[in-house]
Chains A and B, each alone.
Chain A
Amino acid sequence: MAAAMEGLLPELEVIRKDFPILERTLAGGHPLVYLDSANTSQKPQVVIDAMVDHLERHNANVARAMHQLGAESSGAFEAARDTVAAFLGAPSRDEVIFTKNASEALNLVANTLTWARGIDTGFTGTRGGWDRLGEGDEIVITEMEHHSNIVPWQLLTQRTGATLRWFGLTDDGRLDLDAIDDLITERTRVVSLTWVSNMLGTINPVQEIARRAHEVGAIVVLDASQAVPQMPVDVVESGADVLVFTGHKVTGPTGIGVLWGRRALLEQLPPFLGGGEMIETVRMEASTYAGIPHRFEAATPPIVEAVGLGVALDYLRDVGLEAIRRHEEAITAYALEGLSSLGGVRVLGPTTASERGGAVSFELDGVHPHDVAQVLDSRGVAVRAGHHCAKPAHARFGVQSSTRMSSYLYTTPEEIDAFIDALGFTREYFGRTA
């Protein structure tokens, strides 16, 4: 029985009241059952209020406005950087760079590595550094990456002559680590992988992979877009040299992402975008650049979005990331149980809740994911259908697309019941003609 379910957030009903959108009713009078949080999370009232308050009372540009509002706005923006740094366990606030989203953060690191000359990774591995990336160098990713952690590295290898390699996947949706010693070698310069898969839900052993990468002097980039929302993340413990995530999946707004990087590495990377506030001085012939983090933050940044993100992370920290993780695990286990009870459902990815995040992709026998999502939507259940920006991972499992339900800290067992009911209805609906 749902009420006795262990691991749920004890204040679940209070938490749900924090998210005004969860009160919504959709066409046909159906209450919203929002199971698309891996796509984007809903926003609590405190985030909405903080952003409105900033725009109503403190709006000004940051760092370049010499008036009181400018000081307030700059203060709020930089306070958000402090919040992010503390949330991630970053050794220094200067290591936190605001971007538009996780994709921009990944493009920032891939591009600046393409342009960089004379990198010293700081690891005493076989090489531990390089002059410029080129032939003979290898970048290692995985087959379960979001397109945003594939395409920037394809561009890098095309531009430098380096080679792109990747971890394959096992049948149950895990990284095939048997190949690790073949993949991560003295030729490896960068290992970039997702911490938690947005499609398969798999939680990857990032520390083990980082250890191996550092042994050969390679740097590690972690896409933590699906990890930061739902589990405790400490950048130092993770073994990452660079870690990225996006604001809108952690109950914050869209338009803001974060790149954390080890200071020693960031200081060796050239600028990404050129423009205002990323400079030290500009002459017509040439310019010199600001130190980190501002070197990577050209132009007016997403100010109110940063403020919203800071409040969102405070909100998650107050609820507790350990507690959120337990909640996600309980809800995911309940959803997996419901899916297996239906029959005719094939879950893509690990089927043990403790080894996965809260995104569950599946196939419903005989009904295309688009049609599943359409029928679910007619009953107020919002899920995602398609390739979830992970086409290679779908191809690995011989499918073109899948349906994905993804829960979050506000998801209730009753919503999972409604989802499973709606799936049963979907199958009946499409079974009505032979």
Chain B
Amino acid sequence: MTLPGQDLDALYQEIILDHYKHPQNAGLREPYEAEVHHVNPTCGDEVTLRVHLEGEGDDAVVADVSYDAEGCSISQAATSVLTELVLGRPLPEAVAVHARFVELMHGRGTVEPDEDVLGDAIAFAGVAKFPARVKCALLSWMAWKDATSRAGGGAAFEAAEAAGEEQA
């Protein structure tokens, strides 16, 4: 019996390798309200990430996300894509994108990604089929959630979670 091959190309989409080699919005910048440092203890990948919010409550806007990250192609590309997707957006919108990305990553390949919401992040659909790499893709997204909450944006995540539960 010939077993199906592991589809490397599904994991390493051109978009991912492109973001890996040309990371967007990299570097640490001022001003910021919160800075977090997240690590993946099993592999050692690390990210230091800063969040700058403008405005308050539902009117808050993701004014800047800056970072210094070290890790594999998947974790680096995920950080780059994250910044592209959330920068300049109203916080509730950015939080909704976050929720969809997390859902995609935890879907084990069964979630059909919505390109209108996820943009370049749909390239990560293949990563969900490699359980060992899901945590690579999520490292900076979790760091962003943490930093945003510390920067005063925690209510947006709570609201999104409450809405999600209502829907379910």
Query: CB within 8 Å of B: which residues of A?
Result: 25-29, 368-371, 374-375, 377-378, 385-387, 391, 394, 400-401, 429-430, 432-434
Complex interface bits, B21-55 against A, C-beta within 8 A gives 1, otherwise 0: 10000000000000000000011111000000000
A29 partner residues in chain B, CB cutoff 8 A:
2-3, 5
Interface pair B46/A400, CB less than 8 Å apart: yes
Cα distance, A385 to B11, chains bound together (Å): 17
Cα distance, A378 to B136, chains bound together (Å): 18
Q: Smallest distance from the beta carbon of B135 to chain A beta carbons, Å?
A: 11
Among A368, A377, A432, A433, contact of B71 (Cβ-Cβ < 8 Å): A368
Interface pair B21/A27, CB less than 8 Å apart: no
Closest 4 CB pairs of A and B: A28-B5, A370-B72, A368-B72, A386-B43
Cα distance, A28 to B2, chains bound together (Å): 7
Interface pair A370/B3, CB less than 8 Å apart: no
B3 partner residues in chain A, CB cutoff 8 A:
25-29
A374 partner residues in chain B, CB cutoff 8 A:
8, 11, 130, 133
Interface pair B5/A371, CB less than 8 Å apart: no
B8 partner residues in chain A, CB cutoff 8 A:
374-375, 378, 429
Interface pair B4/A394, CB less than 8 Å apart: no
B42 partner residues in chain A, CB cutoff 8 A:
386
The reply on B156 being an interface residue by CB < 8 A is: no
- Taking A26-B3, A29-B5, A370-B43 as given, write out 10 further A-B residue pairs in contact, using a Cβ cutoff of 8 Å, ordered by the A residue number: A369-B72, A370-B45, A370-B75, A370-B133, A375-B8, A378-B8, A391-B44, A400-B44, A400-B71, A430-B17
Q: Which of A29, A369, A433 has the most CB of B within 10 A?
A: A433
B interface residue count range (under 10 / 10 to 19 / 20 to 34 / 35 or more): 20 to 34
A370 partner residues in chain B, CB cutoff 8 A:
43, 45, 71-75, 133, 136
| Residue of chain A at shortest CB distance from B21 | A433
The reply on B167 being an interface residue by CB < 8 A is: no
| Residue of chain A at shortest CB distance from B130 | A374
Interface pair B73/A400, CB less than 8 Å apart: no
Interface pair A378/B5, CB less than 8 Å apart: yes
Interface pair B21/A387, CB less than 8 Å apart: no
The reply on B114 being an interface residue by CB < 8 A is: no
Complex interface bits, B116-140 against A, C-beta within 8 A gives 1, otherwise 0: 0000000000000010010010000
A368 partner residues in chain B, CB cutoff 8 A:
71-73, 76
Among B2, B14, B43, contact of A387 (Cβ-Cβ < 8 Å): B43
| Residue of chain B at shortest CB distance from A395 | B44
Among A25, A371, A378, A401, contact of B73 (Cβ-Cβ < 8 Å): A371
Cα distance, A400 to B18, chains bound together (Å): 22
Interface pair B43/A377, CB less than 8 Å apart: no
Among A27, A391, A434, contact of B5 (Cβ-Cβ < 8 Å): A27
Cα distance, A386 to B133, chains bound together (Å): 13
Q: A370-B43, A374-B130, A400-B44 are in contact. Are A27 and B17 (CB under 8 A)?
A: no
